[in-house]
Chain A
Amino acid sequence: MGYRDSLGEFEQLTLLAVWRLGRDAYGTTIREEIEQATSRPIAIGALYTTLDRLQEKGFVDSELGEATPERGGRAKRFFSVTPSGGQALRKSLKAIRNLAIGFLPTEEAL
Chain B
Amino acid sequence: MRLSLKSLLVNSVISFCKATNLKSRIVYRAMFGYLDVACPVNSALTQDVGHRVVGYLTAAKSLLATMESLQLRWKAIDVQSFIKQHGRASTATILCVELGSMVRFACSTGTLTCKTGFVYVEQGLAGAIMTVNELALSLAKHEVRATESRTNSLRDILDKQNSPVFVAEMILWLFTRACHTEEVLGDFREAFEKHQTKYGTVSANKWCREQTVREVWNRLSSAARVTAWLSGAMHAVTKHFRR
A interface residues with partner B (beta carbon < 8 Å): 26-28, 31, 41, 43-46, 48-49, 52, 68, 70-77
**Interfacial chain B residues near A74, Cβ < 8 Å:** 156, 182-183, 185-186, 189
**Interfacial chain A residues near B180, Cβ < 8 Å:** 45, 48-49, 52
B interface residues with partner A (beta carbon < 8 Å): 156, 160, 163, 175-177, 179-180, 182-191, 193-194, 210-211, 214-215, 217-219, 222
| B218 lies within 8 A of A43 (CB) | yes
| A48 lies within 8 A of B189 (CB) | no
**Interfacial chain B residues near A27, Cβ < 8 Å:** 183-184, 186-187
Q: Please, could you name 28 A-B residue pairs with CB atoms under 8 Å apart, sorted by A?
A: A27-B186, A28-B187, A28-B191, A31-B187, A41-B210, A41-B211, A43-B211, A43-B217, A44-B188, A44-B215, A45-B176, A45-B180, A45-B215, A46-B218, A48-B183, A48-B184, A49-B177, A52-B179, A70-B190, A71-B186, A71-B189, A71-B190, A72-B156, A72-B185, A72-B186, A74-B156, A74-B185, A75-B182
> How far, in angstroms, from A100 to B182 measured CA to CA in the complex?
40
**Interfacial chain B residues near A44, Cβ < 8 Å:** 184, 187-188, 191, 211, 215
Contact of A71 among B160, B163, B187, B210 (CB under 8 A): B187
Residue from B215, B218, B219 having most chain A Cβ neighbours under 10 A: B218
> How far, in angstroms, from A77 to B188 measured CA to CA in the complex?
13
Q: Closest residue to B193 on the A side, CB-wise?
A: A70
> How far, in angstroms, from A31 to B215 measured CA to CA in the complex?
13
Distance between B9 CB and nearest chain A CB, rounded to angstroms: 31
| B183 lies within 8 A of A41 (CB) | no
**Interfacial chain A residues near B186, Cβ < 8 Å:** 27, 71-72, 74-76
